[in-house]
A and B are shown apart, each in its own frame.
Chain A
């Protein structure tokens, strides 16, 4: 009997390698759990049937050639392509799209013999913070199905939280891994920009997008990150990122006994719910009691990360979404002429939030407004990044809550886009500055009898993911 609720990658590895369970047994246990819970939660859009992968993984194990992820069931966000499988980014316009190639992260996972268990729901093209923007239905929070799972990687977080997969891949442009992880009570890592190849990830905002893992604990996110990271000739930002760091993928980050952790008090205290504040303060107290040094910091201009984000992101979205034109792939709604083909296809098959962002991006990039919005936002972004670097001369890590409040009710924010955007207040800073950040369950808020998880977010300097893992693991056991 496999206890999926407590199973970790390391424990699954031991069970598989000692032949206590087979790859098929393990996969079967997860598929059974999906059959039991998915009708209610709707994390999975599709469960894959890939018997060759299962046979190959079992063969690797039988021959004593197992890797850390051999035979481990992984759920894949619907915007990451696997050759021969559908990938729709939860959009009508790609409803029947079958990917002709593997994303680099998929190639790396295949080399390990990992098992792709299925593709999971998301906000359409990763645009949203609740998975309510999926064209195919809302992913509910497994802890309380009246509430959202968060987004945009809501399906990834819910899949892990409902024990439908051991780990999942998500993507994070403004908080899309960390916020759903926080809402669903699991761990989510947004790696350093450029540390994981985006080749085969459907682009949303290219200067911000990064793929990362969602898992039950910090150790599991590290195992997956170590497999998917690294330079890829198919994504030039991977080498640029390594060059900036003055390092290569093999460099070892020295971990510390204790960490100096900065808290931008003035910034975080403005937006937090009282119950989130309580959990955040008790997390800091626990870290301090364990010997870590908690210091107050100020990151000048950090309050501008959200407005900067909501200028640059839609600008990049408007450009990236122009490829969905009904000509080369995806759906087509025909009109009288080519112009009408474009207009009807995009008008009819893209969702409301995607259209909103395309128009917003078109506006901030248009002649006459470009300097006031787009150029200005880049200048402010640069200043914030410099300020962040200065702060990291004084502290090892920065701590913030992941979100201002626990998971909200389905429908609560759908009519107010700006209210939904404010959800990202604590998460976008790491994307704007390119640094890694992790969300770790820190406690529960009791809400009409159902415990709602709240995450602690730790942020590290570029390429210091190992500090997040190390300090995160120390925090988990407190």
Chain B
């Protein structure tokens, strides 16, 4: 059961601001889509079949080798940031003193 509160909660988890209008239409859409995909629960899957970890196959690992000199891409990458200072991305204060 999807309620408007579910949608608002999901949006806050996903860091997306949504309007009241969007909430209403998202609620209807999610309900319809979930009702459709729920069908998969009628498929018998073995209890011991695990989940994604077994079904998705094995990981490919490699040596953790350094492939470039430190800092060679810094300027190019930082240049793309909306807010920066020198070699750093900047964001608004994260911790604040609330009384």
Contact = CB atoms under 8 A, between A and B. Distances in A.
A379 B47 CA distance: 10
Contact of B32 (A340, A379, A383, A418): A418
Contacts of A376: 40-41, 43, 45, 51
A363 interface: yes
A108 B75 CA distance: 26
A100 B80 CA distance: 9
Contact of B81 (A328, A350, A373): A328
A379 B30 contact: no
A46 interface: no
B37 interface: yes
Instruction: Please report whether the interface of chain A is mostly helix, strand, loop or mixed according to DSSP.
Output: helix
A371 B60 CA distance: 25
B16 interface: yes
A356 B56 CA distance: 25
A310 B37 contact: yes
Interface in A398-413: none
A222 interface: no
A346 B33 contact: no
Interface residues of A, number: 63
Contact of A363 (B30, B54, B82, B93): B30
Contact of B92 (A322, A338, A343): A338
B52 A343 contact: no
A97 B82 CA distance: 10
B94 interface: yes
Contact of A346 (B17, B34, B83, B92): B17
A14 B52 CA distance: 50
A470 interface: no
A356 B36 contact: no
Contact of B15 (A332, A346, A379, A380): A346
A342 interface: yes
Given A100-B76, A363-B10, A372 B92 contact: no
B97 interface: no
Interface string B24-41: 001001101110111111
Contact of A207 (B22, B56, B76, B93): B56
A343 to B, nearest CB: 4
A97 B16 contact: no
A378 B10 contact: no
A383 B13 contact: no
B33 A310 contact: yes
9 contacts: A307-B39, A325-B15, A326-B82, A328-B89, A343-B16, A347-B18, A356-B26, A374-B51, A376-B41
Q: Which 5 A-B pairs have the closest CB atoms?
A: A347-B17, A375-B51, A332-B82, A379-B45, A236-B60
